[in-house]
Amino acid sequence: MPENPSRPSKQSLRFVRAREAQACAVMEDYVEMIGDLIAELGEARTADIAERMGVAHPTATKAIARLKREGLAVSRPYRGVFLTEEGEAMAHRVRARHRSVVELLVAVGVPRETAEIDAEGIEHHVSQQTLAAFDKYLAGKE
Amino acid sequence: MPENPSRPSKQSLRFVRAREAQACAVMEDYVEMIGDLIAELGEARTADIAERMGVAHPTATKAIARLKREGLAVSRPYRGVFLTEEGEAMAHRVRARHRSVVELLVAVGVPRETAEIDAEGIEHHVSQQTLAAFDKYLAGKE
DNA sequence: TCTTAAGTTTAGCCTTGGCTAAATAAATTT
DNA sequence: AAATTTATTTAGCCAAGGCTAAACTTAAGA
């Protein structure tokens, strides 16, 4: 069997990795957003989540269902959404990474507003090692 | 009508952008890969494309069909795939951007091997402005 | 309280991008 | 030339993540 996607060749590894990262991206975004809303407003409602994510309500509802299924969030019907400990932890991690990515982009000369936009897509593909390098670089800058 | 996904709020813009970028990502990867294979081997066969992208044959076949539908590639049944002028142009653009992203990551201290992996996901979210900033930064470092 | 307004969920559709299994075509070997 | 191997495509499945329209709950106002 010369072809076996479960044991990818050296060449294809980075594509497989990128796809894996992408699969987490949406969940990470929702978790972070729910964290933000709770911090700001005390609770995260479907409508607010949808509005800020730029999607229709039912899309947010589906995403929330998936978060619950994966143990990242909890909610009772027609009530606000809250994060589990695991969700909370992910939100913190994601928020910190987001900040580092934005700061690094700014540090190398990207306008802040552009950095904010691009970071939203970039952050999900920044590995531990790369994040560590970013933080070290930023620490070295002052 | 307070909610209208087609005119996203300021808050949600960056998510909409990230989703748009993601939608192009797969096409960009295939186009670049086809370009690589043609450069290396003179033609791009389905099996080779699939192998290097880390997917099963039929997945590559489907992607190729979409490339053709969008005017980026051409092929006759059971024959190799080739790029249109538009596809060629995209391949060049993507390749250049990829190089810049890798070099920037290396320049800020990311190990080259990690940079190669992470760049694969990151590159698709690097806007013109950010790319310009990267190139300027790299030129300054020379 | 009862009606209306606002918010949430459910139902059902679409596309993308994965997959496996089967059919078909091309190339190679005997 | 025929048979076998190799390569490609087709068929059909699945999940994710979009959407709209309709149903259902909750909250608010008359």
pLDDT tens for each residue of B130-140: 999 999 999 99
Please say whether the beta carbons of B21 and B124 come within 8 A.
yes
Residue B4, pLDDT score: 37
Provide the residue range defining the domain that includes B67.
Answer: 13-141
DSSP letter for each residue of A59-92: HHHHHHHHHHHTTSEEE-TTS-EEE-HHHHHHHH
Domain count of the fold of chain A: 1
In this prediction, residue A94 carries a pLDDT of 97
Residue A62 sits at the chain B interface (C-beta within 8 Å): no
Give the pLDDT confidence of A54-108 residue by residue, as tens digits: 999 999 999 999 999 999 999 999 999 999 999 999 999 999 999 999 999 999 9
Nearest CB to A127; choose among B118, B127, B137: B118
Please report the pLDDT score of residue A10 as a whole number: 74
Q: How confident is the model at residue A3 (pLDDT cuts 50, 70, 90)?
A: very low
Residue A47 is predicted with a pLDDT of: 97
Angle at B13 between CA B9 and CA B15, to 5 degrees: 125
List, in order, residues 6 or more apart from B95 with CB less than 8 Å away: B32, B35
- Inform me whether the pLDDT recorded for B5 exceeds 50: no
Q: Which nucleotide is nearest to B56 (CA to C1')?
A: C19
* Residue A7 belongs to some domain of the structure: no
Residue B3 domain-assigned? no
Q: Half-sphere exposure of B127 toward its Cβ, with a 13 Å CA cutoff?
A: 19
Q: Has residue B87 been placed in a domain?
A: yes
- Strands B73-75 and B81-83 turn out to be antiparallel
Say yes or no to pLDDT of A6 above 50.
no
d(CA A91, CA B77): 48
- Report the chain A residue with the minimal C-alpha distance to residue B4: A56
**DSSP readout, B49-105?**
HHHHHTS-HHHHHHHHHHHHHTTSEEE-TTS-EEE-HHHHHHHHHHHHHHHHHHHHH
In sequence order, the 6+-apart residues with CB closer than 8 A to the CB of A63 are: A26, A27, A30, A49, A53, A55
Dihedral sign from CA coordinates of A69, A70, A75, A80: negative
pLDDT number for residue B8: 54
Interval B49-86: pLDDT, tens: 999 999 999 999 999 999 999 999 999 999 999 999 99
Q: Give me chain A's average pLDDT, please.
A: 93
| CATH code, A98 | 1.10.10.10
pLDDT band at A11 (very low <50, low <70, confident <90, very high): confident
- Confidence category of residue B10, pLDDT binned at 50, 70, 90: confident
Find the Å distance, CA of residue B6 to C1' of nucleotide C15: 18
Q: How far is A119 from chain B (nearest CA, A)?
A: 8
Q: Indicate the burial class of B2 (C-beta count within 10 angstroms; 0-12, 13-18, 19 or more).
A: exposed
Q: Taking CB atoms and an 8 Å limit, are A17 and B129 in contact across chains?
A: no
Cβ neighbours of residue B94 under 8 Å, at least 6 residues apart? B28, B29, B31, B32, B123
Cα of A32 vs its chain's centroid, Å: 6
User: How do residues B18-61 score in pLDDT, each as one tens digit?
Assistant: 999 999 999 999 999 999 999 999 999 999 999 999 999 999 99
Residue B79 lies in a domain: yes
Say if residue B6's pLDDT is above 80: no
Q: A8 in a domain, yes or no?
A: no
Residue A2 within a domain: no
Mean pLDDT for B80-106 is: 97
- Strand pairing class (B81-83; A81-83): unpaired
Check residue A109 and give left, alpha or beta (phi > 0: left; psi -120 to 50: alpha): left
A67 CA to D11 C1' distance (Å) = 33
As a whole number of angstroms, the distance between CA A93 and CA A25 comes to 13
Q: Does residue B6 belong to any structural domain of this protein?
A: no
Asked if pLDDT for residue B2 goes beyond 50, the answer is no
Percent of chain B with pLDDT over 90: 91
Q: Does any domain span residue A5?
A: no
Closest protein residue to C7 (Cα–C1') = A47
Q: How many A/B residue pairs have CB atoms within 8 Å?
A: 148
Is the minimum distance from the CB of B27 to strand C below 7 Å? yes
